[in-house]
Every structure is written in structure tokens, then in C-alpha cells.
Chains A and B, each alone.
Chain A
Amino acid sequence: MTYTFNETQMAEFNRLVARYPEGKQKSALLPALHLAQESFDGWLPTELMDYIAGLLKIEPIEVYEVASFYSMYNLKPVGKFIFEVCQTGPCMISGSDDIIAYIQQKLDIKPGETTKDGIFTLKLVECLGACGYAPMMQVGKIYKEHLTKEKVDSIIAEYRATVTK
């Protein structure tokens, strides 16, 4: 599979590169990988990383080593929505264990897995900086905070509805 940004995506890519001095375009790598991941299937296949390397005029290995270092880049296929549930200290003492267990039971998947219908992936993550509003999870760009079992139910229903519509 080959990947190419469309016009809008390319304009955004160019805006990212323009922030840095000439010859320092590699600095745009992190934002460019975010853009690539959001523009296609929510993860970074090798061919997509190679495409970004070409655009930034850097070696593919320079992209791979970055993509594998940062936790927000997905190197394997993921569901349409990723529930990234925080499990670090402040969330744990506020009851994240129960929330994680409930989501697993509700979606019938373990952390790292995707539901059979490809809609949800469950990921356990470390502190997202929402400790005062714990327990919490990130879904895409959004933080879902003060989680309860009832809230989890309605969040699952909300996202499921966007797909089945």
C-alpha cells in the first residue's frame, strides 16, 4: 500500500515544517507522525513511515526509532476508538482498577486488544495529567473524566452509535 497526503493534509504538513528554520525540517517529525496517524487508519504502517521520511528528507530509520519511542504512535492496527485508561497512582487510589475491570468485562477484551467488530481498542496508559478528575481515560483528542460504571456505559453507547448510524 502506498500513502499520499491529500491537498488539505499536505497544506497542514507544510504549515508544520514552516515552523522551523531552513534545514531543520526533521523537527517536524513528531507532529508529522501525528498527522499521518490521524489521516489514515490510526496507526503507522512501515510504508506510511517511509512516506514521511521521504517528505522530510530523512532516513526511514530516523522515523522508525522515533515512532517506536513515543507511546502515542500505534505500530499495530487499532480499533476505530481507543480507550486509553490511566492506571498510575492518583487514578489508582481513586478507583481506576474497578473502571479498567469493568471496561474489560463490558467490551470482552483485555488491555491491548481490539473488539471483534473493530470499534474499540483498550489500552492502559500512564499518567495523563488529569489526576484531580480521576478516574479518567482519553478517547482520541478528548479526556473523559470522573469515570463511573454508568459513565463508561454511556461513553461506549455514544461511540458505538457514531459507527452504526
Chain B
Amino acid sequence: MGVKLLLDKANVPGIRSYEVYRREGGYRSVEKALKEMNPESIVEEVKKSGLRGRGGAGFPTGMKWSFIAKPEGVPRHLVCNADESEPGTFKDRYLMEFLPHLLIEGLIVSSFALGSNDTYIYIRGEYAWIPDILEEAINEAKANGWLGKNILGTGFDCNIHVQRGAGAYICGEETALIESLEGKRGNPRIKPPFPAIQGLWQRPTVVNNVETLAAIVPIINLGGDEYAKIGVGRSTGTKLISACGNINKPGVYEIDMTISVEEFIYSDEYCGGIKGGKKLKACIPGGSSVPILPANLLLKTAKGETRYMNYESLSDGGFATGSMLGSGGFIVLDEDQCIVKNTLTLARFYRHESCGQCSPCREGTGWMEKILNKIEHGKGTIADIDLLWDIQRKIEGNTICPLGDAAAWPVAAAIRHFRDEFEWHINNPVLSQTSNFGLQHYADPIHVPA
């Protein structure tokens, strides 16, 4: 059993309620932070912890906090990004649904550190039953003196508000989220200015993911140095992984980032192996945007070394032979899955979710979907593969926000690693409509040059 810092109490009966959560040691970090520490020392502890943003980008949280501007007389805001929408990702939902007080506790400490008196949780609109759970937790916290005016007699005031989105993946991008919170379309803003300088209502704002803010609780309780001892290298602490696809035990797992990908997939403690005893063909290890890897490159790096479930190891080899930990949305595909079809559904997703602001993304995502649709239905040509490659290359890096990259990468990686499957589809227009390319050589051991 690995170390658990977030989900260690998840199975305690009644942990969703304030009484049980408090009895189990909840809200200690608020006492410690507000009474024994000051905002600067909290930021220092978070820096020491090495915590990296758990939403997908992996940016160091302490550093992000230290950027917040503090102009005299201008309110600052902390915004919790609960717009979890990356396909394959459902970890924040789990935290909010089953451990709402852990998030509220993390939010209070973080609000104190950043000087936010009004903190907002922006939650995706489809999670329609969760705002009630969060609001109940907020009311309980308020009734027990952890929120509201003059918390613990320290003079610090804080309120937390929950706002539902209304169905837009793009609002997970922090500036689009801010626009949405201002009652507008979720069109990402051009940076700079960064939200830390001009964010919500032009005020200094920090936007952090749910899991990131929950992790503040163990960081304060343990101290940054102790937290940083868990994990490996620059992958400190624990990470929630939401595992799905063709596995025996889909669900949300907390890992300490020292276990191998192979152990995560095959161990009964985690995914429990491939469903139906089938073989592993491919995996998207960090949410739909990150590069898909064939089984052989997933389990071992191109150098033939064991691949581990952490930021560095999953990205070993760059995009040529590696991927990313991303949001922790771990999508497993078995030998019967069709890479062309899978890529098509992701291309359709990004076309649907493009905000339409930048031409490369607005036009490119739809164009890629059309071509993939042709190939999937046996009407593609070999030149279409090269065209797809060309389009994705021209979207990447040419848009205001990272949605363009997120749309380009899955297509690029599918062609990079599974080009022969695309060619097979094109060369077998009739057969490909009734059968799949299958596993082929994708699980074969990698040849490592001496």
C-alpha cells in the first residue's frame, strides 16, 4: 500500500459530514495556518513541498502563488477550478462528492495565504448534484466558525461561493474560466496580463485545481519538507489517477508516484489488469490531450527502462516516445480497440469544444474530424494521413490557449505510433468496416540499440 494523503479517510463512514470529518482530524491545518503561520510562511511551505498543479499543466503551485499582485485597496481572489472536463478525468468529482470538507479546508488555508475574502468554486455544470454537497459543507464550516467573519479570532474574513458552469470544456482554461465567472462566453484571454495581475473583475486572481487545493491540507499538516519526501524527484506528494477504459477495476486511485505503470495496470490494488483477460494495446495516461502510447512504449521507455507513474518518467523521451502525466486521466485500450475510431471521437470532442476564437483551432479541429471520419469509414487516402499531420502541426502553438495543442497532440501521437493501422484502414476499405486491425506488434518488446 502506498502513502495516502488525500483519500486516507475516504472510506470512513459519514466522512462527508462535518462531525465525522472534524473527529478524524479535519480542519487542523486551518488552526495551524491561521494561528501559527502567516501568508508568506504558508507560501514558503507550499514552495518547499514541490507541489505541482494537479489540473494537468504541472506548474509549481508555490511559485504561482508568489506571483499574485498586491496593489493597495484592491481585493484579490482565489478561484477553485472544478471544471473537470478532460476526457478520462473524474478525480475532482470524487474528491468533491465524497470528501467535500477536505476541499473546503484547503480552500480556507489557501484563501488566507492569498488574501482572498471571497473565494469561488467554478464547477462544471453537468456535475449538477455536487454544488448542493459543497454548499452543505460550506454551511457546516461556517456554522462551526471556519468561514465567515473574523475566523478563529484572527481578523481574517472568508466566504466561499459555488458557481455552476453550463457545459464548455474550454472553461477549464483559467482565463476562459474567469470570463465565464464574469457571465460571459468562455473565450480565453490573451496573456499577459496574467490572472495573478488582472484576473477576475480585473483583480489579482489565482486559479487552482480542486486536487491542488486539497493537497494544501497535508502540506500544512506535515510541513513542506516532509511532503516533498514522498514521491520521487520533482514529482512530490501523491497524485490522484482516474483509471478507465478496458480494465477490471476502473476508479479513482491515489498513488505516491513511485510505482511503475505496469504495476498500476496489473496490480489488484489498482486497475486489476485488462478486462476479460485481453491484451493491452495502448494507453492515454494523462487525459485525452496527452499523446497515446502503444503498450510497449507505455510500460518501458525507448531506452528499455521501466516507466513509472510520475511526471518525469511518463514524459521520458518527449513526444517522440513518451507522453505526460497530465490530469491523471488514465485511459486503457485493449487489443480489440481501433485507434482510428478512438482518435476520431477525440477529434470530434475538440471540434465541439473549440471556442472558435482562433482560426487554426476553429477550422483545424473540424477539418481533422472530417478526414478521420473519412478514414474510419473506408473512404480515406494515404495522402489524408499526411494532410492530418500537416493540419495538426499548424494548429499546435498557433492559438491563444492550449486547446489547440490539446486537439493536435492526440492526432499527432496516433499517427506517430499507429500509422500502419491508419494505412490498413485505407488499404482495406471494406474489411476495416467489419473487423479491427487488432493488437499487431504494439505490445512487442522494444528493440533497444546497443
Chain A residues positioned under 8 Å from B87 (CB to CB): 88-90, 126-127, 131
Q: Mark B159-195, 1 if CB is under 8 A from A, else 0.
A: 0010111111100000000001111111000000000
Instruction: Tell me, rounded to whole Å, the shortest Cβ–Cβ distance linking A57 to chain B.
Output: 12
How long is the Cα–Cα vector from A160 to B135 in the complex, in angstroms?
32
Instruction: Tell me, rounded to whole Å, the shortest Cβ–Cβ distance linking A130 to chain B.
Output: 6
Within 8 A of A (CB), among B135-169: 161, 163-169
Within 8 A of A (CB), among B74-131: 75, 84-90, 93, 118, 120, 124-129
With both beta carbons as reference points, the residue of chain A lying nearest to B246 in the complex is identified as A93
Whether a CB of chain A sits under 8 angstroms from the CB of B229 is no
How long is the Cα–Cα vector from A66 to B333 in the complex, in angstroms?
37
Within 8 A of A (CB), among B344-373: 345-346, 348-349, 352-353, 355
With both beta carbons as reference points, the residue of chain A lying nearest to B341 in the complex is identified as A92
Chain B residues positioned under 8 Å from A24 (CB to CB): 182, 201
How long is the Cα–Cα vector from A65 to B183 in the complex, in angstroms?
10
Within 8 A of B (CB), among A18-39: 19, 21, 24, 26-31, 33-34
How long is the Cα–Cα vector from A50 to B112 in the complex, in angstroms?
40
Within 8 A of A (CB), among B225-274: 242-246, 250-252
With both beta carbons as reference points, the residue of chain A lying nearest to B125 in the complex is identified as A72
Q: A24-B201, A93-B337, A131-B242 are in contact. Are A138 and B89 (CB under 8 A)?
A: no
Whether a CB of chain A sits under 8 angstroms from the CB of B342 is yes
Chain B residues positioned under 8 Å from A66 (CB to CB): 183-185
With both beta carbons as reference points, the residue of chain A lying nearest to B201 in the complex is identified as A24
Chain A residues positioned under 8 Å from B209 (CB to CB): none
Establish whether residues B90 and A131, one from each chain, have CB atoms under 8 Å apart when the complex forms.
Answer: yes
How long is the Cα–Cα vector from A88 to B88 in the complex, in angstroms?
9
Establish whether residues A72 and B90, one from each chain, have CB atoms under 8 Å apart when the complex forms.
Answer: no
With both beta carbons as reference points, the residue of chain B lying nearest to A32 in the complex is identified as B183
Establish whether residues A127 and B244, one from each chain, have CB atoms under 8 Å apart when the complex forms.
Answer: no
Establish whether residues B251 and A132, one from each chain, have CB atoms under 8 Å apart when the complex forms.
Answer: yes
Establish whether residues A34 and B161, one from each chain, have CB atoms under 8 Å apart when the complex forms.
Answer: no
Establish whether residues B352 and A126, one from each chain, have CB atoms under 8 Å apart when the complex forms.
Answer: yes
Whether a CB of chain A sits under 8 angstroms from the CB of B29 is no
Count of inter-chain pairs, beta carbons less than 8 A: 145
Whether a CB of chain B sits under 8 angstroms from the CB of A40 is no
Instruction: Tell me, rounded to whole Å, the shortest Cβ–Cβ distance linking B130 to chain A.
Output: 10
Whether a CB of chain B sits under 8 angstroms from the CB of A2 is no
Whether a CB of chain A sits under 8 angstroms from the CB of B331 is yes
How long is the Cα–Cα vector from A34 to B342 in the complex, in angstroms?
32
Establish whether residues B164 and A34, one from each chain, have CB atoms under 8 Å apart when the complex forms.
Answer: yes
Whether a CB of chain A sits under 8 angstroms from the CB of B62 is no
With both beta carbons as reference points, the residue of chain B lying nearest to A21 in the complex is identified as B201
Question: Interface size bucket, A side?
Answer: 35 or more
Q: A29-B183, A129-B93, A131-B90 are in contact. Are A92 and B168 (CB under 8 A)?
A: no
Q: Which of A56, A125, A141 contacts B128 (CB 8 A)?
A: A141
How long is the Cα–Cα vector from A87 to B346 in the complex, in angstroms?
10
Within 8 A of B (CB), among A123-165: 125-134, 138, 140-142
Instruction: Tell me, rounded to whole Å, the shortest Cβ–Cβ distance linking B116 to chain A.
Output: 13
Instruction: Tell me, rounded to whole Å, the shortest Cβ–Cβ distance linking A73 to chain B.
Output: 6
Whether a CB of chain B sits under 8 angstroms from the CB of A105 is no
Q: Which of B125, B185, B341 contacts A34 (CB 8 A)?
A: B125
How long is the Cα–Cα vector from A33 to B165 in the complex, in angstroms?
10
Chain A residues positioned under 8 Å from B333 (CB to CB): 93
Establish whether residues A142 and B342, one from each chain, have CB atoms under 8 Å apart when the complex forms.
Answer: no
With both beta carbons as reference points, the residue of chain B lying nearest to A27 in the complex is identified as B183
Establish whether residues B246 and A94, one from each chain, have CB atoms under 8 Å apart when the complex forms.
Answer: yes
How long is the Cα–Cα vector from A127 to B86 in the complex, in angstroms?
7
Establish whether residues A92 and B345, one from each chain, have CB atoms under 8 Å apart when the complex forms.
Answer: yes
Q: Mark A62-82, 1 if CB is under 8 A from B, else 0.
A: 100110011111000000000
Q: Which of A65, A126, A133, A140 contacts B349 (CB 8 A)?
A: A126
Instruction: Tell me, rounded to whole Å, the shortest Cβ–Cβ distance linking B132 to chain A.
Output: 9
How long is the Cα–Cα vector from A73 to B163 in the complex, in angstroms?
16
Chain B residues positioned under 8 Å from A31 (CB to CB): 163-164
Q: Which of B127, B167, B183, B349 contacts A88 (CB 8 A)?
A: B349
Known: A34-B125, A93-B245. 12 other contacts (CB 8 A): A30-B165, A30-B183, A31-B164, A62-B184, A65-B184, A70-B167, A71-B352, A94-B245, A126-B169, A131-B87, A131-B242, A138-B126
Which 3 A-B pairs have CB atoms at the shortest separation, nearest pair first? A29-B183, A71-B167, A70-B166
21 contacts between A and B (CB under 8 A): A19-B120, A21-B201, A62-B184, A71-B168, A88-B288, A88-B345, A89-B284, A89-B342, A90-B245, A93-B331, A94-B245, A125-B167, A126-B169, A127-B85, A127-B288, A129-B89, A131-B242, A132-B242, A132-B250, A138-B128, A142-B129
